[in-house]
Chain A
Amino acid sequence: MSTVTVQLFASYAESFGGPTIEVTLQPGSTVGDLVKTIRSLPGSGVLPDSPRVAVNRKFATPQQLISSIDEIALIPPVAGG
């Protein structure tokens, strides 16, 4: 078991009630596992069917493995420009 800190922004930060959440994962967990765990938390109703996740500032696939030293963020629908 390890705990990772997930950064939140914009509508997600408002919905979950802060700029980060702590999530406990089993060793060998993937981005998909992380999203599944986050869906059990209060505020997760804001998430779309396939929320985008960034690992070390790059968009990640659901299959990507997560390590406890990774920089992880949930990315709401982007609206720059």
Chain B
Amino acid sequence: MKRAAVVTRAIDPTAIVAEVQTAGIGAISLFLGTVRDVNDGRPVSGIDYSAYVSMAEEEMQQILAEAEERYGVKAIAVEHRIGPLTLGDVSIAIAAAHPHRAPALDATRFVIDEIKKRVPIWKLEHYTDGAREWVDPTRSSSEAKA
């Protein structure tokens, strides 16, 4: 199975892990992205995520197909949350299941790295001083930190 979704509710990591549990696997890798309290040295109070939802879901589905092809995962799922998120909230969950740990770990890493490059989702960061800014990884040094 593979499933990609953009959601507006809280992400339940346990449910995603349960979703990829299938016969013949020996490892499930789970990646969670969470809202950090600082970015490029500026204290963050929260992030508004927005998306081109139809394209984001298609592009994530394509990335999961590539992960399946490259790593042979038996099941893989991703949920990306959009809307207003506060510090510590889970913004993304990726779960990959495989008979062995290395491909499961590699697959989640591949999926998050590709999502950051080519899935149309955006962050409007709010700072504790009241300012707000669209995150642009092509301009700032923050890309590798999430």
Contacts and interface: CB of A to CB of B under 8 A. Distances in A.
A19 to B, nearest CB: 11
Interface class of chain B by DSSP:
mixed
Contact of B138 (A9, A57, A77): A77
Contacts, number: 74
Nearest to A56: B55
A10 B59 CA distance: 18
Interface of B: 33, 49-52, 54-56, 58-59, 80, 91-92, 112, 115-124, 134-139, 146
Contacts of A73: 52, 55, 120
Interface of A: 7, 9-11, 14, 48, 54, 57-59, 73, 75-81
B52 A80 contact: no
Contacts of B136: 11, 76-77, 79
